[in-house]
Structure 1
């Protein structure tokens, strides 16, 4: 029953993140934490998300916007290392609430046209560093990364695939560090891999959804889900 729950959770999480670029971790992390504990849940989730994001890259490879991806990764990889090193000792609840508040604030300001994130190398490097650090600390900062790429006004498939590339790079970095310092065993790898396989089907389903959505509707859906994700993070216990 637990295996089926993990597989179903992985499919749903990937369908959501495959359609809007984030949200998979927010759905899976509570289930994993309840089942295997918080310390094990984050490495399992990282392995599963690596596979899920690789499938998003595969399905949208031709649409990737490589320039912002490259600058984002320059900041994200070293800072995700720092975050992963500090994973065990950081007050995750406080950081999670701060991420939620930042995401909600961004959507509100963007809706009222009070914020305009410049599309330049400096912003992407700094933004990547912040997302990478927080991702390493609390397991995922998907809404923040999505927020940054969403502000670039890319076509839906390009936005999904480009953000997925950065997620893959951060997950690979974190897995290497978690393996070295958290003593990840075969059981953790097997659970993460199993969930990841179910996420491939979910990613395919998510892609079918966004192929049918007009860009204007897509932007409204992403904005709404960013607010919901922010609220979940803000009031999570």
Structure 2
């Protein structure tokens, strides 16, 4: 579990997403579907906090604030609806949206510069889906990638929004699902590995050209989207 968490965090630390989707199947086998997502949320909180810390001086606060404005209320709604949500259907839909967004952007079929309104709406969608199925990071990543930020600024800015949503979800999950000592301990244990993995991911992107970074993230987004669409 520690090794898997380290690898997942290294990938999400370099790309801005993907860690949750890699860890979720392993956690599901260990603790079951209902407990896996709250435990994963605790682990993600640590991973994203470390990404914020490693890139604190490069965060672009204007789009971050707009994104959080939409994400906070919708992540509360999503977390409250978590138990009864048709997760497999929602995950397949998210995968389809991610693939479509990346392809449309790559072929210049859609052209837009995200403004405050788009970031608020995007934050609301990501917050709702994150609460419902545990993570909608790839959608948020695709949106922040459109801002054209340098790699470290992109990673840290997207992670700041994720931290906000994770804190809210943990409060709601703990109130209604009773994580217990085992769930909290597993989340903390995984979180430590994610801090180390995030550091490793940052070391990778610090030496990567900006255009290569965008291509890498785009390819990973399509692969993750295909995984979600096919396996649900």
TM-score of the superposition, structure 2-length normalised?
Answer: 0.99
- What is the 5 A alignment of 1:44-55? 44-55=39-50
State the alpha-carbon separation in 2 of the partners of residues 95 and 114 from structure 1. 25
Q: Does residue 131 of structure 1 match 2:126?
A: yes
Deviations for 1:85-133, whole angstroms, at most 9, x for unmatched residues? 0000010000000000000001111110011233211100000000000
Q: Which residue number corresponds to residue 228 of structure 1?
A: 223
Deviations for 1:172-217, whole angstroms, at most 9, x for unmatched residues? 0000000111111111000000000011110000000001110010
State the Cα RMSD in Å.
Answer: 0.7
Q: Number of matched residues?
A: 232
Q: Which residue number corresponds to residue 115 of structure 1?
A: 110
Q: Among residues 208, 211, 214, which one is paired with 2:206 in the alignment?
A: 211
Q: Among residues 79, 83, 88, which one is paired with 1:84 in the alignment?
A: 79
State the alpha-carbon separation in 2 of the partners of residues 117 and 11 from structure 1. 35
- What is the 5 A alignment of 1:1-237? 6-237=1-232
TM-score of the superposition, structure 1-length normalised?
Answer: 0.97
Structure 1 residue 9, shift from structure 2 partner: 1.0
Q: What's the secondary structure of 1:88's corresponding residue?
A: coil
State the alpha-carbon separation in 2 of the partners of residues 85 and 117 from structure 1. 33
Structure 1 residue 34, shift from structure 2 partner: 1.2
State the alpha-carbon separation in 1 of the partners of residues 125 and 183 from structure 2. 27
Q: Which runs of 4+ in 1 moved over 6 A?
A: none
Unaligned runs of 5+ in 2: none
State the alpha-carbon separation in 1 of the partners of residues 96 and 182 from structure 2. 35
